[in-house]
Structures are given as structure tokens and as C-alpha cells.
Structure 1
């Protein structure tokens, strides 16, 4: 006989579930408190008799240094600080700040050669006494590389060696024993995110640049441009103001976009005819009725550099969503047409 699996989440577990949820909320509360302490430290002015430089002052110094750096930000750390450091390095790189992660132990066995003139080191250590960082710290001192440290102790070896020590508040860990890096890791990560985002804003990093570094996955899809998806050239359904209704029907049938653009003598789009427009005038003479007689002279259009997601928003913005958009250049000349099915196939919708 096969033994059935025990039921999941039965009533007898409710008391334990309450305890678990309470513990989880305590973790979140302690980490949130640590982040709030760090935000307060960023705003706090210098205090007389305090040997710890204000976090806001050292943070702005680090931003100024990183934003004018000739080389890369070399991030390093070990253990939990190393894992956080890898994420910070990844965020820096993907938002336009050249960076690389160097493991401190590997640095001691040849990877110090990865550090080049013009680089800066961002070293993470909660205690500031991580022995494995000694060689990479010594290397920065020997070759005059900028050293920025994220730590909780101003009197630590790392903080005293650093050109710019970023001293985060020594907030209690969320671990009930106060041992497992939890709150401190969250604070390191948040400060790294703050560095990356402020540098992004200083640099004026655009969505276009962001898409270059994120070509794959859902994020890459959302950042695709209309020009990447639109149909070009002879596939566009186009006519002139003098095109007869019969020819309009034939053009729309051949091209199957559910519409036809009307272009003037100057090549600019001056109107649009949709399936709905056709249905309303099918009782007219097919040869005597002209495109100019039935076209919409204020059609909704887009540009080639518009985000595909924004084009989809335009299509859905009206009470009756539209299925196709003509794409115009800066002079109003059609350069493509975009159908909602193109957006669906690309995963934008």
C-alpha cells in the first residue's frame, strides 16, 4: 500500500503558523529599522567630538569619485559581504558604471592583476577586520588606488585604511542570536543600490542605454522600441487622397492590417482609413468615392524610437482600442506600421 503524504497546513499547525509569521514580521521590522537608521545617518550633520565622519558627507565624496573615475569600480568582499558585493557590482555594471567583482582570496593568488591604474576598490566588511581583504587593501595603498569601504566600525583596520569610509549604523541583526548577517547585509545592499542609482541619475543614464545592457528576458522585451517591431517598405498599406474606394478596399485586403494610410504629394501622412470607415460607406459608389472623402485626418501615430510598451498603451488608451499604428519620422512621413499582434508575439503585452 502506498502511504499518503501528510496534509499541508492542517488546523493543528495554526498555532505554529502564528509563531512563524510573528518571527518573520520581527525580521522584517528589524531590517526596516536598520534601513531607517541608515537613512537618518545619511541626513545627519557632523557632531562635535564625533570621530565618525557623517555618512552623508562620505557618501557624496564616494559619488563624486566614482562619477569621474577613469577606470572601473572593483568590488570585493568575502562571505555574506562577498555575496552582497557581487549583487552591488552587477547593479553598477547594468546601470552604466563600469565595474568588476574580485574575490579577495583569488586576488591573493594572481587576480590583483585585474586592478588597473584609474580603478577604485569598493570593499565590504561588516566588522572591517576581514583578514582575507589584507592583500587587496595593501595593493590599493601601494599603487595609489582609491579605496572606499562599507563597514560598521570606524576604528576597524579597513575603515582606517580607506580613503572614503562609508560607516553604516551598527544595527541589531534580525537573527535572535544576533550572529547571522541579516540586517547588516540588507543595509550593505541598500547602500550599494543607493550608490548605483545616484550614479545613474548623475550620468543621465537613459532607458535606451539600459536596454543595451538588458537585451534578454522580460525586461529586455519591455525596453524594445517600435523600430524593432514595425513593418517597413512595400508591406505598408498606403494610398493617396485620390485613391478610389475600390482601390482602398483592394489595398487593405492585400496588406491585411485593417487600415490604409493616406499620404499627400509631400509624402507625409495626411489621413487614415480603417475597416470601420469602410463599413460605414459601402453604400457609396466604389469608383467615384475617393480616400479623401472618408479618411480620418487626425489619426493616432507613433515614432520609431518610442518604447513598444508605450505604443501598446496608446493603442489601448481609447474607448475602442485600435490594432495598428503608423510610424512616422520627424517630418511626418510613414516609415513603418505596427500591429498589436507584433507586440503580442514579442511578449510586450
Structure 2
């Protein structure tokens, strides 16, 4: 009786051994779905979407000029010209206007008097002379009023205030320097209308779109923004593309900044690095289906950590082989020893 059981057990052992020789033994793992991953950090720069270039509208001496990089609040004084010679001109014009006013009133009085005397002895020629004298002085008064208005306009230009809150850059003048009309002074950049810009390798273009979230690293703090615009083919390189995203006023124009994309996808999975093998055209993983048939699938790594990779792959009803991968061939049937 014992011999019967012995031969039965021995037969089962031989059967299992033959089966094991035919089917390779592997260990598998279930793929882990992930909500998102971060790309590597890319260098970027903070730019202003609104930059004003200031040019002089006057000839004169600048007596107040901002420093390069100076922060200026909206409506604060940006720069001032020496106004003294304009005030002297205005004083002289007002004196002349006062004299012309007196002359005009006198000419007007004479004309009125001669007009009343027209029927009492004043000749037509005398009346026309008085009218001419009055009109000449009226024209001179009009001309001097225009001159005063033009001078006031120039005086108003001697003090320029900031149209918005921002920073001064690219100063091209010095305090007490004599400036000519149309001379470039400096740039003024709005701090309330900022953007992130940066260049990203072209391989990431398929992973992102307008509204992709961006994580920023700036002065040891992290912030979030959203991609608003991208230029797939930029002038710098055909292997990269340029991105733009809005920023708030936590940032300073022209500063450097680091950024990375937060990628969300329903087919993102996390795998153990031990699962990855070298295939003919790069990296791959071995998958096994419900019938225990294996297949080698090429993969592209999206992100990595100490012992994990994140890849984009949809593998319903399949498991990943992480042990026993050596000498496998597509279509092999395997025996799964353990599964996690």
C-alpha cells in the first residue's frame, strides 16, 4: 500500500518537474495606477507682458532719474526735468500778455468812442484805423495765449508719473544730464502682468496641452500656475518649444525660476525598476496575460524615483513580470509562482 502512495507522489513530482521545465517560472506584480507625475525641472524666466519704453519729449536737463531695477508705485514720479527756464518763459509771456491786454482795452475804448462820433464828425478812415488797431492787439493776445498753453503743455511734461506699478530697467541716462527730444530714457515693466517663459525639449510636447498645471520653484518656495500658450517651433532650436504661463505679483521681473509640468493621465502606471529590460529598440517590460502567455512591450520612461518608474501604458487584464525574465521569448507560456 505504501508503495502505491510512493509511486503516486513520485509521479506527481515528475509531472510537476516536467511541467516546470516546459513552462518557465516567473513572479509577477500588478501595475499601480498613479494620478500624476512631475517632469524634471526646466529653467525659466519671469517676464512682464507690459513693457513701456520711455523717450524724452523735451530738450532739457533731467534733475530726477530712477535707479536701474528701482520699484515704482503707480502714480509716483518716474522722472523730472528742470522746469526753471520754462517758468521764466511763462513769467515773461504773462508780463507781455498783461501789457497787450491794457493796449487792447485802450484800442477797444478808442474804437467805441470813434464809432459813437461817426455821425458827429469822425471820418470813416479814422474809424477803420481804430478797428484795425483793436484787431491787431486781439490777434497778438490770441497768439500769446496759444504760446502760454503750449508752454503749460511742456511744463506738464517735465514731471512724468508711473502709469502702473513696476520696475525700471535699461536706464540710458544720468541725473543732471542734458537730454534731447526723442532720446531713449529707460524701460518700465508692469509687475501686475507677469508671465513665466521657458524652453522645453520637444519630447515633452505630446505630454502637455493648454491648461496643463505647472509647478514653480522660486526662492525655495513652490507655486502653481497653468500653461496658457506654447510655441512648438521656436527660433532657438527645432528640438524644443517655448511656453508661457501667467504669474502673480509674488515674482520679480527678469528673475530666473525653475518649473516643471504636472502630468495627469488615466493610463499612467508605476512599475518597479526590476521589471524593466533592454529590448531591441530601447527599454521594455514583459507582460503575462490570463492564459499565462508572455509578450515584450516597449516603454518610454516619463519619470523616475529611487526604485520606481512611471510609464504611460494601458494593460488591462495583464500582469508585469519582475522575476524570471531571462531567456523569455514572445509567446512563451509561463508558470506564475508568486504574484503581488
Give the TM-score of the pair, scaled to structure 2. 0.21
More helix per residue: 1 or 2?
Answer: 1
More strand per residue: 1 or 2?
Answer: 2
Give the TM-score of the pair, scaled to structure 1. 0.21
Using CA pairs under 8 Å that are at least 6 residues apart, name the structure with larger relative contact order, 1 or 2.
2
